[in-house]
Amino acid sequence: MPGESRRIVFPEDVWIRRFSVSEGQSMLLRAESDVSDTADTQRNLLSKEGSVLPRFSIEDPVKLRALKGSASLKHYKGYLKLTLCGFILMALAYTIYIVDPLEFAKTKYMNIEEGTFLYSLWQKPPVKIFIKVFIFNVTNAKEFLMKKDLKLKVHEIGPYVYSEQLVNTNVTFNNNHTVSYRPIRTLRFEPGLSVGNPMEDLITVSNIPFLGITSMLHNSSMTLNLGLSGIVSFLDTQPFVDVSVHDFLWGYDEQLVKLASKILPNWITFPKFGLLDRLLDEGNNTVTMHVADKSKKDVNKKLYSIDQMNGYPGLPQWGYKSGYNRTTCNNVQGAFEGYVYPRHISPNDTFFLYRKSFCRTLPLVYNKSGFSDRGIPVFIYKLAENALDSPIMNPDNACYCKNTNKPCLPSGLSDLSPCYYGIPVAISLPHFLRADPDLLNKVEGLRPDIEKHDTIVKVQPDLGFPIYVNTRVQLNLVVHKTKFTPRVKPFDNMVIPVFWLQVEMTQLPDSINHLLDLLVFIVPVLQKTIMWFLFLVGFSLLLIASIGYVWISQFFNNTSPLISKNMKKHEKLVNVSQMQIIPLTNVHSIARGR
């Protein structure tokens, strides 16, 4: 009725939640029973709030559902953005895992091709290779020749150290994924690492040209041997010589050599004989090596291995002939020079090391895994224990005993004579390590030690970089039973140790060390960190979005029936079409103003 105070009655503790479109926030209204809705009270509240309060019509459920749908859509859009960001981040993490950018960079830039970093390292290696020479000085030469001493006494002196610089020249890349080049090695004496001055230090050593030529002709005709004996007597050639270390290594005047170079210039091409000079003479050798085939993605175990040496995949010195008679021991194809190895090597891989001075390949077998001094993981390889065994014990060495007119050398020795003018010289491990024990019976002063005399190579398995190299070989003179030369008789059937070499690379330059640190430690950790960070952040965003979807769906599904139910239940008690929504904080103000 006009002038009559109208009352809006709600059941006690009824809560109504409404989402305001204009303000974008939810507001709560709690109506207490018997609250008077007078015009004065409303005006007081409006003046206290200082603004017009939002309204909604409880008689218009369509509008209420529209407001609810608008708010729900905003929440869904936000969670959709989180979902999209999560999928993008996880996709990036998965891409890093599949593509492996670090491996891609290694494959692209760690190949031997013009302009790459590895090419510059290979073409002129910045690493320092040291060749340490240990000479067996004879201490009882007179007593041995006079047969007062039945054993030759030697004393090891050294090292005399030389640094080796390698330059690969005449580099030509071929169409069959190989590269041909000519290696040139130069040596420089390192006085700071040596025990003395090779120009001043005098030694007593075996006269290798004299003993070698005599031994080489031991099965020749009597006429030839008598002629040689006459020349030796005329020149007064002695089985021992006193020379300086430098002359012994790089060349001293030997009348027999000088005469042979004049009579047989096609055989002896040098007027002076120096042992290291002859041993390290590379000549005009041309090496052809396998390089990467970019069309193949699989791991190529032939990578950086020798394809041909002077146009042949085998060594003619050991019976290889073009197109046939290729055996395990005369094969050079697949061997390595030792400056770089293929990537991704495994413990099952065996590498054959070739160097012209060895006159053969030497097998390196996996020994164990370990770490370098800088903590870089490496595979440790050693020379196979049967590498220098006789063909009876190791059939793979059959071609090294090709002369059927004389017995094979004892185990522990490998013949070099086809590579050195036919002179019967042989290599072994230093101090006859792992050799036939009888070799030590005629020589005093040798003490084989596996720690000092074995060969060790450490390779970083992922990159194929040699981290540490220590190759040790000994040169020996094999003297057969001779005829008609009395001066050589004390040496009959004897193997004389001459010297041994230690070819080592113990340190890498800083540029390579920094590269290894970057490729082995820093970049892999950084790449994994980024990959896992992207994955975890993306997964977290997806998880948050999923929880949000579930929460908002449950909330609107639970609140809509409650509002509709209360609206229908109390619709008849409301006599006005609109009401003002009073914030919960002002409910007590209503009560006080009543």
Bridging pattern class, strands 465-479 and 494-505:
antiparallel
Task: In whole angstroms, give the CA distance from residue 297 to residue 278.
Answer: 43
pLDDT of residue 297: 55
pLDDT of residue 519: 87
- Work out the burial of residue 321: count CB atoms within 10 Å of its CB; fewer than 13 is exposed, 13-18 middle, 19 or more buried: exposed
First CA to last CA distance, the chain: 21
pLDDT of residue 71: 54
- Work out the burial of residue 65: count CB atoms within 10 Å of its CB; fewer than 13 is exposed, 13-18 middle, 19 or more buried: middle
Q: Tokens for 43, please give them.
A: 């005006």
Structural domain spans, the chain: 70-124+518-549, 127-508
Global pTM reads 0.76
The Cβ of residue 18 has, within 10 Å, a number of other Cβ atoms equal to 19
- What residues are paired with 136 via a beta bridge? 156
Q: Decide if 337 contacts 129 (C-beta within 8 A).
A: no
- Work out the burial of residue 128: count CB atoms within 10 Å of its CB; fewer than 13 is exposed, 13-18 middle, 19 or more buried: middle
Bridging pattern class, strands 351-355 and 414-415:
unpaired
Bridging pattern class, strands 414-415 and 425-428:
antiparallel
Q: Decide if 224 contacts 217 (C-beta within 8 A).
A: yes
Helix (H), strand (E) at residue 545: helix 523-569
pLDDT of residue 530: 92
pLDDT of residue 27: 39
Q: Tokens for 297, please give them.
A: 């993605």
Q: Decide if 506 contacts 468 (C-beta within 8 A).
A: yes
What is residue 418's three-state secondary structure? helix
User: Which residue, chain included where needed, has tokens 């193997």?
Assistant: 495
pLDDT of residue 558: 60
pLDDT tens-digit readout, 302-336: 889 999 998 889 998 888 877 667 788 889 999 99
Taking the chain (594 residues) in runs of 10, the rounded mean pLDDT of each run is 45 39 38 41 43 44 52 68 88 89 79 83 89 96 92 95 93 91 92 95 92 84 80 85 94 80 72 82 85 65 88 88 76 90 90 90 94 92 93 88 75 90 91 94 94 94 91 94 85 94 89 86 90 91 83 65 49 44 45 45
Q: Decide if 214 contacts 239 (C-beta within 8 A).
A: no
DSSP 214-267: HHHTTTS-HHHHHHHHHHHHHHT--SEEEEEHHHHHH-B--HHHHHHHHH-TTT
Task: In whole angstroms, give the CA distance from residue 385 to residue 395.
Answer: 14
pLDDT of residue 419: 87
Query: Residue 213 carries which side chain, given as an amino acid letter?
Result: I
pLDDT of residue 34: 40
Q: Tokens for 361, please give them.
A: 């390949």
Q: Tokens for 81, please give them.
A: 């953005």
pLDDT of residue 25: 38
pLDDT of residue 551: 78
Q: Decide if 501 contacts 124 (C-beta within 8 A).
A: no
pLDDT of residue 189: 95
Task: In whole angstroms, give the CA distance from residue 352 to residue 330.
Answer: 12
pLDDT of residue 496: 95
